[in-house]
Structure 1
């Protein structure tokens, strides 16, 4: 899209921004029953799903970096998950870093969370052709790259 000073520049993006907010609300609402069953907050749920979906990227610093959750909230949520037996911390060769593993006792909860997440994304893409998915992924990657580039400039 051309760079202009027109106030109409934002207009084409408004439906997508509204859809993104609706998606977040819908996504969160679909997890409520399972979160209640396992007494999980949304952040605890997101941390468990992040660790499940990103094998080998398993430190609190990784969660902060890739999920854009504040350090204090990650710390609080990780501490709660450890205390309640959902996560097992361990130190690797770098003693400054604590690695987080999903505890065996938490596997059922994580499997249920993952199943819900997969179903949500399947429904989100319902009716899209492979070409539409490729075009969407290409556009979203470019937009994500722009966010990264311009957010670093401050």
Structure 2
């Protein structure tokens, strides 16, 4: 029987294979985790600390730290102290990251086209509706628990 745990296992396996394929297309210049960090930083303006990245990627603090160090050395990100809390380091993409992000997005689109070519638009739309319902259910439970 399909349940949330099974769905998460499917998504984790898809994420793993997807990361490997994307890494191959990036000529192994970046680790899969570095690519994921660049994607998250470019697509989610509210994700900009190592803690945010750890939670979103579900990886260790050490792996995030190593990846951030590598991206810093490549000049693709900078870290700046938070204006309100100097203990917090905010991570920002540099201008040098723009062509890399563009290349990643191009490769992502090619992978999407290949993987989804035999999946109907109706199936994709239905999956999105289902995922939104599940997410909303979790959010509703979270809000009810807080009250």
TM-score by length of 2: 0.72
- Judged with a 3 Å threshold, the aligned counterparts in structure 2 of structure 1 residues 102 and 147 are, in CA distance, closer, same or farther, namely same
Structure 1, unaligned runs of 5 or more: 1-8, 150-154
How many correspondences in the alignment? 137
Structure possessing the higher radius of gyration over alpha carbons: 1
Correspondent of 1:74 among 42, 64, 68: 64
Query: Residue 102 of structure 1 aligns with which residue?
Result: 93
Distance 2:15 2:79 in 1: 32
> Offset of 1:143 from its aligned partner?
5.3
- Judged with a 3 Å threshold, the aligned counterparts in structure 2 of structure 1 residues 119 and 44 are, in CA distance, closer, same or farther, namely same
RMSD: 3.2
SS across alignment from 2:96: helix
Does residue 120 (structure 1) correspond to residue 75 (structure 2)? The answer is no
- Judged with a 3 Å threshold, the aligned counterparts in structure 2 of structure 1 residues 86 and 132 are, in CA distance, closer, same or farther, namely same
Does residue 24 (structure 1) correspond to residue 16 (structure 2)? The answer is yes
Structure 2, unaligned runs of 5 or more: 142-147
Moved over 6 A (4+): 145-149
TM-score by length of 1: 0.69
Distance 2:90 2:14 in 1: 34
